[in-house]
Structure 1
Amino acid sequence: MRELVVLGTASMVPTRTRSHNAYLLRWDRETILFDPGEGTQRQMLFAGVSVSPLTRICVSHFHGDHCLGLPGVIQRLSIDGVAHPVAAHFPASGARYFERLRHASSFHETAELVPHPVTGDGPLAEGPSGVLEAYRLDHVIDSVGYRLVEPDGHTMVPELLARHGIAGPDVSRLVREGSLGSVRVEDVSVPRPGQRFGFVMDTRLCDGVYRVAEGADLLVIEATFRDADHKLAHDYGHLTAGQAGKVAAESGVRTLVLTHFSQRYQDFTGHHDEAAEHFGGSIVVADDLMRIPVPKRRP
């Protein structure tokens, strides 16, 4: 299963219909929680998801609407008896905030939470489902964007396998070893592009935004302001909906998810339309508790 569960879509101030940030990505054997803001535990309950399958927590930066849900989530790992290690990624300059949030109150800690402070651009971890990367953004404090990249692979073609007399366990052996006798994987398959997921929160336009967005099948990106408020967006280190659309168009994104909306707006049709002026692909204006599937693989 590859899907995004949207837990909250507000920015600094939550509203009656929008909780603080939080996004849960299900990606094969990885379950990653991004930017757990205040109220994340309760939103997970409403969404019908739990902390038990979490493998990673990724925090973009240490403003409250992106991290004040950490204490409850971390404590819940122990309460629910999560037995596997859970990695935590965050900007290294915010390590003191992470430690304060991790131990915000007394609890019996049994779960294994493994901090991995982000110190620069590039790969953070590699697993069977892909490589997690981080890139610096341009906010008023240190902030990073995250991207998950699945390696390119191959899709076996039954007709070509049959032509070479390869069947049963020999197929797995061929994939594992790369060749079987004189037959190579390339002889009986077609290329399968890996999928990519990008997560961009509070930032002005910068190189890091484009590096995270490049070729993303699903890009979650802040659209805190409308274009008319572009000066306000720049001053406070944020993007507008139109800028998010331009990033998606210039980066080859397939599905664009707009989120992190300022409480000053009640109607979000304008956010969609301003992004659509630049980007012709699929645009989702995120709502709390929405589930968004990762698009099917590129042909």
Structure 2
Amino acid sequence: MSRELVVLGTASQVPTRHRNHNGYLLRWDGEGILFDPGEGTQRQMLLAGVSATDVTRVCVTHFHGDHCLGLPGVIQRLSLDRVPHPVTAHFPASGREYFAALRHASSFYETAELRPEPVSGDAHVLETPVGRLTARRLRHAIEAYGYRLVEPDDRRMLPDRLAAYGIAGPSVGTLRADGHLDHDGRRVSLAEVSAPRPGQVFAFVMDTALCDNVYALAEGADMLVIESTFRAADARLAADYGHLTAAQAGRVAAESGVRRLVLTHFSQRYPDPRGFLDEARAEFPGDVVVAEDLARFPVPNRRVPSGG
């Protein structure tokens, strides 16, 4: 099953001819997590080939319009398309009234099941079918949260070791489930025929000034999607308005051991996106991409532990 980010919009407060307001769908096996559906997200989903039935969870970082004004259309589309599964929605608890107003912004026949589950505190931990989702408080003009999805660690079966012990077929599943298998007069442990397989990590950081929780969200992420609203020359503006520069985003990635850095949420004042890329790469000479509307970025393959 695929794990990829589908970019629906990359603008900040003011959209441009080429950049819609925010919107990001993370496809993660059977889950489809929609982050920050800004105005126009429903149409962007159509252009990107994303259906309402793909969405299983919605995560809103905060209630500034460019991160949430697409909610009414998306929520109503869930019912229009009669999405058969429940859709959970996470958002700052302080914005309950905003969420309620957006949810019922106009008359519609509600058939889909939407389950609001607001987040609060410095760190709010949620269990999902694909891993642990943690919301961490960021530093912005209003209450805002970033999100971090961590897949549980697992083990990778080693075919040569299985063959050496003569284990095949359904016995492999039994060994994995029980942690051991009695075979040919001896007990074979899972550790003898497998290697650690670290779970993958995805992090999503939007409007915030630099703070400890930015690093906590980004730590060891296979993919970090992060705002870089401003260029370094406007670092004072970034600090005044609670935003990051591309250079700061690159520094966070470098210091946090990020594997793929996705820059987004660009101010309309910069016509050439290459400047964001250059500034981030000066701090993080790794895998950096400047997000474009309707682009798709795969989550990097799992890390292979040394000696694994």
Shared fold, TM over 0.5: yes
2:58 paired residue number: 57
Q: Distance in 1 between matches of 2:158 and 2:216?
A: 33
CA displacement 1:241-272 (0-9 Å, x = unmatched):
00000000000000000000000010011111
3-state DSSP of counterpart to 1:52:
helix
CA contact (8 A) 1:121 1:133 kept: no
Matches within 5 A, 1:135-284: 135-181=136-182, 182-284=187-289
Match of 1:288 among 286, 293, 299: 293
Q: Deviations over 1:86-112 (max 9, x none)?
A: 000001001110000000001000111
> Could you list the per-position Cα deviations for residues 125-169 of structure 1 after superposition, in whole angstroms to 9, with x for gaps in the alignment?
323421111100000100000011011111100111112221101
Question: What is the CA–CA distance in structure 2 between the aligned matches of 1:122 and 1:263, rounded to whole Å?
Answer: 32
Measure the CA separation in 1 of the matches of 2:136 and 2:199.
20
> Distance between the aligned counterparts of 2:18 and 2:128, measured in 1?
36
Q: Aligned equivalents of 2:129 and 2:174: distance in 1?
A: 18
- 8 A contact 2:123–2:137 mirrored in 1: no
Residues 19-52 of structure 1: CA deviation (Å, up to 9, x unaligned): 0000000000110000000000000011011111
Structure 1, residues 190-221: CA drift from partner, whole Å, max 9, x if none?
11111000000000001110111011101000
Shift of 1:123: 5.1
Structure 1 runs (4+) deviating above 3 angstroms are: 121-124
The corresponding residue for 1:89 is 90
The residue identity in structure 2 corresponding to 1:79 is L
Measured in 2, the distance between the counterparts of 1:272 and 1:129 equals 31
State which drifts further: 117-126 or 55-64: 117-126
Paired letter, 1:44: M
User: What is the TM-score with the length of structure 1 in the denominator?
Assistant: 0.98
CA distance in 1, matches of 2:123, 2:54: 25
Moved more, 124-133 or 142-151: 124-133
3-state SS of 1:14 partner: coil
Q: What count of residue pairs does the alignment treat as equivalent?
A: 299
Q: State, as a whole percentage, how many aligned pairs show the same letter.
A: 69
AA of the residue aligned to 1:3: E
Partner of 1:114: 115
- Alpha-carbon separation, structure 1, partners of 2:294 and 2:76: 22
SS in 1 for 2:101: helix
Amino acid at match of 1:265: Y
Distance, in Å, in 1 between the alignment partners of 2:298 and 2:247 is 23
Unaligned runs of 5+ in 2: none
Quick check: 2:230–2:246 contact (8 Å CA) kept in 1? yes
Shift of 1:81: 0.6
Q: Following the alignment from structure 1 to structure 2, what is the Cα–Cα distance between the partners of residues 70 and 120?
A: 23
Deviation at 1:121, TM superposition (A): 3.9
Q: Distance in 1 between matches of 2:118 and 2:128?
A: 18
Shift of 1:118: 0.2
1:24 and 2:29 correspond = no
The TM-score normalised by the length of structure 2 is 0.95
Contact 2:124 2:136 (C-alpha < 8 Å) held by counterparts = no
Give 5+ residue unaligned stretches, structure 1: none
